[in-house]
Amino acid sequence: MEIQRIGVIGAGQMGNGIAHVMALAGYDVSLNDVSDEALAKSLKIIDKNLERQVAREKISEDDKATAMGRITTTRALEELGQTDLVIEAATERETIKSAIFEDLVPHLAPHTILTSNTSSISITRLASRTDRPEKFMGFHFMNPVPVMQLVELIRGIATDEPTFTACKGVVDTLGKTAATAEDFPAFIVNRILMPMINEAVYTLYEGVGNVTSIDMAMKLGTNHPMGPLELADFIGLDTCLAIMNVLHDGLADTKYRPCPLLTKYVEAGWLGRKTQRGFYDYRGESPVPTR
């Protein structure tokens, strides 16, 4: 099937990035959120990020104006029902995602494909809460969406070939690369990345090194562009903890046990950049390690 209209649920960091790249690639985008404030903020961020691409001569002013014109916003979930493809990018909690799909299903066109940008939750289980498990799959973008080149495509147990082919076609149109993953906890990227971050937190917790030395060791010793604790702050410590819990619960292996220090930071509300404090304090002119 030909996909022209795309619905994006959730106007947060991932949702606005997905809307940005979809509109720039020529799709009409309907961006949904429960908050008018979040929708307004999202449009400002998209405009700013497109302007950055103009300044770097990656796109023209006309490209930017056309892309912004393709994005509409709505708080009414039912308005996404007549789109060709829906990408859910809400909070990484299964109860929230399931409730969204259950509310959306009665309004869907027969041909609409449903996808989730989840970074760890079972696609098969989410699909089972809908009326179309064969037209449901994982569509996992990396953050920040306009910059990162990879998209994980995850088939649920019922996902049919036309659905996969249509979603793969969208990834190709975006100029990104698709990696096909099986539907097991955290898929490929986070199955490998999150235990590394968790181990970095254990290294801090056990006093092997401080925040600065751990991040410096990984940047200079393994040529990573960001240290694991800096990256955790960028992702959000609540998201990191949620994915570790999915791994621990889904695979029942103690090697995926979340570090108690990671849990403690989340309990404190120190979630990283988005709350101005995590493994670094971002409230001053430059980040300062908190341990």
- In the set 117, 122, 140, 198, the catalytic residue is 140
- In the set 16, 49, 190, 198, the catalytic residue is 190
- In the set 42, 117, 119, 198, the catalytic residue is 119
- In the set 117, 152, 198, 230, the catalytic residue is 152
Q: Let me know: does 202 contact 259? Beta carbons within 8 Å.
A: yes
**Is 122 labeled as catalytic in the residue annotation?**
no
A 10 A CB-CB count for 287 gives 18
**Is 119 labeled as catalytic in the residue annotation?**
yes
How far is residue 138's CA from residue 155's CA, in Å, rounded to a whole number? 6
**Is 117 labeled as catalytic in the residue annotation?**
no
Q: Hey, which residues does 113 pair with through a beta bridge? A: 85
Q: Let me know: does 211 contact 279? Beta carbons within 8 Å.
A: yes
Q: Pick the closest to residue 14 from 108, 130, 151 (CA basis).
A: 151
Range 240-251 burial, b when 16+ CB lie within 10 A, else e: bbbbbbbbbeee
Q: Where are the alpha helices (DSSP H) in 129-178?
A: 161-174
Residues assigned a catalytic role: 119, 140, 152, 190
